[in-house]
Structure 1
Amino acid sequence: MNNTHRPPNAAYVLMIFAAFVIVVAGMSAAKAIIVPFLLAAFISIGGSPILFWLKKRKVPTWLALLIVMCGILVFLFMIPGLIGSSVNDFSSKLPFYEMRLRGQTNAVLDWLDRIGVDVDRLELNKIFNSAAVMKLVVNLLNELGGVLTNGFLILITVIFMLLEASSIPVKLRAIFQDPEASLGHVKNFADTVVRYIGIKTVISFVTGAFVTIFLTLLGVDYPLLWGLLAFILNYIPNIGSIMAAVPAVLLTIIQLGLGRALVVAIGYVVINVAMGNAIEPRLMGRRLGLSTLVVFLSLIFWGWILGPVGMLLSVPLTMTVKIALDTSEDTRWIAVLLGSEKTSVPKPAAAQTPIKDKPLTPKPKRKP
Structure 2
Amino acid sequence: MSDATGHVPGSRAYRRLLIALFFAGIATFAQLYSPQAVLPLIAADLGVSPPTASLAVSATTLGLAAAVIPWSIVADRYGRVPAMTIGICAATLLGLLAPLSGDVGVFLGIRLAEGVALGAIPAIALAYLSEEVDARFTASAAGSYIAGTTVGGLSGRLVSGPVADILEWRSGLWAVAILCAASAVVFLWLVPHAQGFVAHRHRPERRLGERLAAVLRTPAQLAIDAQGFLLMGAFVAVFNYLGFHLAEPPFSLPGWLATLLFLSYLAGTVSSPWAGALAVRHGRLPVLLAGIAAMLVGLAALLTPSTAIVLIGLLVFTAGFFAAHAVASGWAPAAASADTRAQASALYYLAYYGGSSLFGWCLGFVYAGSGWTAFITALAAMCAAAAVAAAAVLRTAGRAPR
Q: TM-score, normalised by structure 2?
A: 0.31
**Higher relative contact order (CA closer than 8 Å, sequence separation 6+):** 2
Q: Which has the higher helix share?
A: 2
Which structure would you say has the larger Rg? Answer: 1
Q: TM-score, normalised by structure 1?
A: 0.33
